[in-house]
Amino acid sequence: MTHRLTVYPGVDHALRHDTGERYDRTLATAAWNDTVSWFGQYV
């Protein structure tokens, strides 16, 4: 099973929830881009 675990420093749960106080646009974008890249490579 191919997988990758990425921990983004200083990020809490729900980092992509853009109406919450924990939202970080830069890290949320990085996480999304990493996810899409992984799917493009392995799915």
Q: Give me the number of domains the chain comprises.
A: 1
| pLDDT for res 12 | 78
Contact 36, 43 (CB under 8 A): no
Residue-number span of the structural domain to which 16 is assigned? 1-43
- Say whether pTM exceeds 0.85: no
Q: What is the pLDDT along the chain (43 residues), one digit of tens a residue?
A: 899 999 988 887 777 888 988 888 999 999 999 999 999 999 9
C-alpha 2/C-alpha 12 separation (Å) is 25
Residues 6+ apart with CB under 8 A from 8: 15, 27, 30, 31
